[in-house]
Amino acid sequence: MIQLNPIESRVLGVLIEKAMTTPEQYPLSLNAATNGANQKNNRDPVLSLNEDEIFDALEGLREKGLAVRVDTPGSRVHKYRHRANEFLHIRPTELAILAELLLRGPQTLGEIRGRASRMAELDSLETTRGLLTAMMTCQEPLVKELPPAPGSRAERYMQLLCPELHPISVAAEIPASTAGPTLSDRVTTLENKVQTLTDSLNRLLEKLGETGA
């Protein structure tokens, strides 16, 4: 499985996003790729990367087969486009989901559908779930399911090209089966203990009453 560093991951997400949302401005120059990586909307976290860092990331993606440089006759500005769909053998809808996870980190099914829909049409939650399942069960999985975030009941999904891109808290990784008892569980346990003590007390009082008689 190919592994990217965090800046390569951000740049790949930008290349995919811009190819789908602003095709008239694609492929991207070094300056455009830098602006896209540093933009404040649709990004988590917001970064401040310089052109040298972006150039190194673009060249890293080229070496790994995920991007190519496009040289236009008469132009001295190099531009770049991604090759993620050919290299990873995924469909445009799956590519949109991958870009969204690269740019924003782990998300719920509803968040993925709502946000990735700006890049590709996702008809329903079930369609989105099917695409995620395909990406999780392919020969080299691109996506992994995570337990719900604390306070939530919805499962989340993360990309696997750069697992350390958006660190997951240890608490969030603990499966529900190994987590501590919930408030409802504790209340039920206390109620059972109270009932047991009440029954024991009643039996004791009955015995005392018989003795006294």
At residue 186, the pLDDT reads 59
Kindly report the CATH number that applies to the domain delimited by 6-173. Answer: 1.10.10.10
Q: What is the pTM of this model?
A: 0.78
Nearest to residue 31, comparing CAs of 70, 82, 74, 79?
Answer: 79
- Whether residue 27 is preceded by a cis peptide bond, meaning omega within 30 degrees of 0, is yes
Dihedral through CA 81, CA 87, CA 89, CA 91, nearest 10?
-10
Per-domain residue ranges of the chain: 6-173, 181-213
Average of per-residue pLDDT across 191-204: 69
Residues 6 or more apart whose Cβ sits within 8 Å of residue 108: 152, 154, 155, 156, 157
Burial state string for 171-196 with b = 16 or more CB within 10 A and e = fewer than 16: eeeeeeeeeeeeeeeeeeeeeeeeee
Contact 187, 127 (CB under 8 A): no
Residues 139-191 have pLDDT tens digits of 999 999 999 988 889 999 999 999 999 987 543 444 444 444 555 555 556 65
Structure tokens at 21: 């949302």
At residue 206, the pLDDT reads 72
Residue 210 predicted with pLDDT over 70: no
- Whether residue 45 is preceded by a cis peptide bond, meaning omega within 30 degrees of 0, is yes
Residue 137 predicted with pLDDT over 60: yes
Q: Is residue 200 helix, strand or coil?
A: helix
Contact 159, 165 (CB under 8 A): yes
